[in-house]
Structure 1
Amino acid sequence: MRNILKLFAAIAVLAIAFPGAVLAADDGHGTEIEAQDWSFAPPFGHFDRAQLQRGYKVYQFVCANCHGMKLLSYRNLGEPGGPQFSEAAVEALASQAQITDGPDDMGKMFQRPGKPSDRFRSPYPNDQASRAANGGALPPDLSVMAKAREGGPDYLYALMTGYGEVPEDMKMTKGMHYNTAFPGHQIAMPNPLSEGVVEYTDGTEPTIKNYAKDVSAFMMWAAEPKLEERYKIGARIMIFLIVFAVIMYLSNIAVWSRVHKKDHAAKTET
């Protein structure tokens, strides 16, 4: 029983002391992903609402030009655990998108302003149109990108801040761009960020690093919107297990102490 208590204590200490156990990932191509300081790091992290709102703004004005987020609806932006835009703000953000709907009474499709219940508008009607507009490359959907790539938000941040000059000893394929974080260091996507490309209204400095961190956090929320709730459930389970282990340990002592007393009494009588 003492070993069980030690195990629970060790797990709790490790979870608190090393929330980002995998701080760097090597993809086999000499690429290292540096860990960032995230507010949502386990085991008791939470999303920064202001950061998520800024991250959505970066996605809206930069990423959404090529990438979709088809698993999200505009109403998700106002739900607990997320950016928590007001109801009026969600309606305004949704209305900025032109959604293809129909058919109408004449059997034709038409465009209308978006509604909170609509999915995020995709920049292209289909994959073929997307490839045609991007030189044959297909920009991936970003709905679960933060969970689909090893390193998660750390990788996304490193990717967006990893553009640089091509080393003299490296031969680049035509149409590719050098990136220190991308496997092989050649990526079809050009550098999407530049200083001041998105205006922040809350006093946050509009730098590439802040853009990258904010939109990476937003994509982490998009991929795992129930993260805070999961952390809370996990904490409750850990507390229950620790309390249960203590109760079992004390019960073990109480039961065996009576057995030892009986054995001692029997030996004394003989």
Structure 2
Amino acid sequence: MKRRLSALLAALLLTASMPIVSLAQEPAPAAEAGKAPGAAPESGRGAEAAEAGSAGTEHATPHYPLKKPPHMSWSFAGPFGHWDLGQLQRGLKIYKEVCSACHSMNLVSFRNLTALGYSDAQVRALAAEYQVTDPAPNAQGEMFQRPGIPADRLPAPFPNPEAAAAALGGAHPPDLSLIAKARAVERGFPYFVFDIFTQYAEGGPDYIHGLLTGYGQTPPEHTTIAPGTHYNPYFISGPALAMAQPLTDGQVTFDDGAPQTVDQYARDVAAFLMWAAEPHLVARKATGFVVMIFLIGFAVMLYLVKKRIWAATPH
């Protein structure tokens, strides 16, 4: 038995040493002209250089947006917030003159604009500036165009999403009716804890403002920008987007003396889009504040009643 184990161990040792012996007996390659003996061939040196380069340029997976939008100050923020009607009217003007060329607002009617401080006559005049397709056919069974009325929705620049994508190089611009509620960057811990008490709901406007003012920056090293796209570190889905910079200084004229800058344009249109997404935001916050005060008072009253009822009962 011992002899069999010794023979088996010797065979295993011989088999394990065979590759080492063969490698040791392998002849060395001939030295190339002008190179020292034992120098690595070009293919080997290229592989080593590539490995060294990849090790030096290795980066972690980026998380978008590359920059979080700055926290802005809004009139409608907090439990005592209110709408700045002048700002909302300027934002509507920016949408009409700039954004409406590509983006729709299919959920906003002309009659809703009375909440921005416009009279019924002004809303009717604004709606009449547009030609809309009547939802019902005429007596001949044909669809027809007519001037808009307050009950109509804001007209879209394209008849359908496919037409919009075909006209804009394959990119379909999103509808802006709810964009201020649909786009927001997570604030993370511990900010979301404080947001419960501050009633923070301005993530969408912050993001819109950051996106509109984030153009024109130099992409970081090793960031690939696809042809036909534009770098923007605040874009939530990647390093670049198909939409070119939409706003420039002096592009829209204000009648109330507000600054005609990209930053002001971005603030105003972001506030307008927040109103469009949640027109009852201010009323909701005011109601919630009153309810919280009532619940606190009711809890105090219940505690005092409990103390009164059980005061004579021994514990």
Instruction: In structure 1, list runs of 5 or more residues that go unmatched.
Output: 1-25, 264-270
State whether residues 164 and 180 of structure 1, in contact with CA within 8 Å, keep that contact through their aligned partners in structure 2: no
Q: CA deviation at 1:258?
A: 2.0
Alignment partner of 1:68 is 2:104: yes
Q: CA deviation at 1:92?
A: 1.3
> Which residue of structure 2 aligns with residue 15 of structure 1?
none
Any idea what SS the aligned residue of 1:258 has?
coil
Kindly tell me: are residues 251 and 27 of structure 1, through their superposed partners in 2, closer, same or farther at Cα, counting changes over 3 Å? farther
Alignment partner of 1:142 is 2:195: no
> Which residue of structure 2 aligns with residue 53 of structure 1?
89
Q: CA deviation at 1:28?
A: 4.3
State whether residues 90 and 269 of structure 2, in contact with CA within 8 Å, keep that contact through their aligned partners in structure 1: yes
> Which residue of structure 2 aligns with residue 166 of structure 1?
218
Deviation per CA, 1:190-209: give whole Å up to 9, x if none. 11101111110011111111
Kindly tell me: are residues 254 and 216 of structure 1, through their superposed partners in 2, closer, same or farther at Cα, counting changes over 3 Å? same
> Which residue of structure 2 aligns with residue 191 of structure 1?
245
Kindly tell me: are residues 83 and 29 of structure 1, through their superposed partners in 2, closer, same or farther at Cα, counting changes over 3 Å? closer
> Which residue of structure 2 aligns with residue 33 of structure 1?
69
Instruction: In structure 2, list runs of 5 or more residues that go unmatched.
Output: 1-61, 185-202
Which letter maps to 1:180?
P
Which letter maps to 1:248?
L
> Which residue of structure 1 aligns with residue 263 of structure 2?
209
Equivalent positions of 1:180-259 (< 5 A) are 180-183=233-236, 184-259=238-313
Alignment partner of 1:126 is 2:160: yes
Any idea what SS the aligned residue of 2:310 has?
helix
Deviation per CA, 1:104-158: give whole Å up to 9, x if none. 2333322221111101100001111100111000000000000001221100110
Q: CA deviation at 1:241?
A: 0.5
Kindly tell me: are residues 111 and 177 of structure 1, through their superposed partners in 2, closer, same or farther at Cα, counting changes over 3 Å? same
Q: CA deviation at 1:89?
A: 1.1
Q: Distance in 2 between matches of 1:29 and 1:144?
A: 20
> Which residue of structure 2 aligns with residue 177 of structure 1?
230
Kindly tell me: are residues 28 and 256 of structure 1, through their superposed partners in 2, closer, same or farther at Cα, counting changes over 3 Å? farther
Which letter maps to 2:252?
V
> Which residue of structure 2 aligns with residue 157 of structure 1?
209
Any idea what SS the aligned residue of 2:145 has?
strand
Q: CA deviation at 1:57?
A: 0.5
Q: Distance in 1 between matches of 2:308 and 2:139?
A: 79
Q: CA deviation at 1:256?
A: 3.4
Which letter maps to 2:152?
D
Of residues 38-47 and 59-68 in structure 1, the stretch that sits farther from structure 2 once superposed is: 38-47
Question: Equivalent of 1:88, from 114, 121, 133?
Answer: 121
Q: CA deviation at 1:27?
A: 5.5
**Over alpha carbons, which structure has the higher Rg?**
2
Which letter maps to 1:241?
L
Q: Distance in 2 between matches of 1:193 and 1:185?
A: 19
Q: CA deviation at 1:64?
A: 0.6
Count of aligned pairs between the two proteins: 233
Alignment RMSD: 1.7
TM-score (norm. length: structure 1): 0.82
Deviation per CA, 1:249-269: give whole Å up to 9, x if none. 212322333224xx7xxxxxx
